[in-house]
Structure 1
Amino acid sequence: MAFDLEAEVRDLAARRDIAAACMRYIRGQDRLDPDLHRSAFHEGAYVDCGLMAGSAEEFVAFAQGFLSDLESSQHILGQMDISIHGDRAEGEIYFFAQHRVIDGDNAFDLLVSGRYVDEYECRAGDWRIVKRYEIVDWVRNDPATDQDFREQNPRVPFGQRGGRDFSSLRNWPV
């Protein structure tokens, strides 16, 4: 069997572009950037996260609203098992998500671990999500424990949302 370098490069490029779409999805959620969040999906995409199911547009509006009620969130992507079939692909991606919930004077860390089961398409050379189903494997809800650290280290920059984060502004102090 001969090695097909062009097919190998197409496969690697597809995986790279699918991973990039998934990273836009995560960054758009955590930084409360609905345009970036939406850019992970092709027109007509469908999402079912358990709390809602519908179009990608509906999901982005729902998720942005849900997450904006939290002090912060951070989603970490794990292993990606992706199968490419021409201009279509399917995948399963592990995630770990931490959400800071404020309830009056109390702060809680809601930890969620699960998987995204996806379908992707390449349209006009652009790979994006067309179907996403979120599976939750486990959840924890613990009292936050970082208040002492924050008080003892006031110069440590903590993440911001809605375009105020250093990673968006790049406002270097020197």
Structure 2
Amino acid sequence: MPTQLNFMLSTCQLIASMPSLADRYVQFVSDSKAAVSWVNGEDFGNLNLVELIYDVRLHLFNLKGLSIAFRPRGSNSVTDSLAKPGSSQVGDGLSRGMFKLAACLHCFFCFFLFWVVFKVSCFCLLCVFVLFCPGFLFLCWVWVHFCFCIIHLFGCCCGFLPFQ
């Protein structure tokens, strides 16, 4: 649903930025009945998306010739045939896989960085505990960050994180 609303907002912004279209009647359609009813004021939307909905409504109010209409899926075979390859599971799975890979690489980098910092901080461990300098706080931060990186790494690789 946020994708539909983001599309509507970016389309409104594009039309508003083009003076040649700002005074003409422009209608674009969406197959999301809920999103169309939210931005047209026929229904109340998700509370998490209120700001996005009101941004689209503001553009609809300022651009008098602009309207958003609902068309069910399958009502326009040409646009449906163009949209299907872009939203197929193969493409979606590929982008999710790349995001998962990037998250895992980030975790491995954090793990490697931890070991470098850990080796350096172990060298100074006696000085840290004897003098109780701010290095002790840094060492604690490194350990906490390491624990979060390990949790993140296993969550990412095992598929438990919500963003995958």
TM range (shorter): under 0.3
Larger radius of gyration: 2
- Larger helix fraction of residues: 2
- Larger strand fraction of residues: 1
TM-score under structure 2 normalisation?
0.23
TM-score under structure 1 normalisation?
0.22
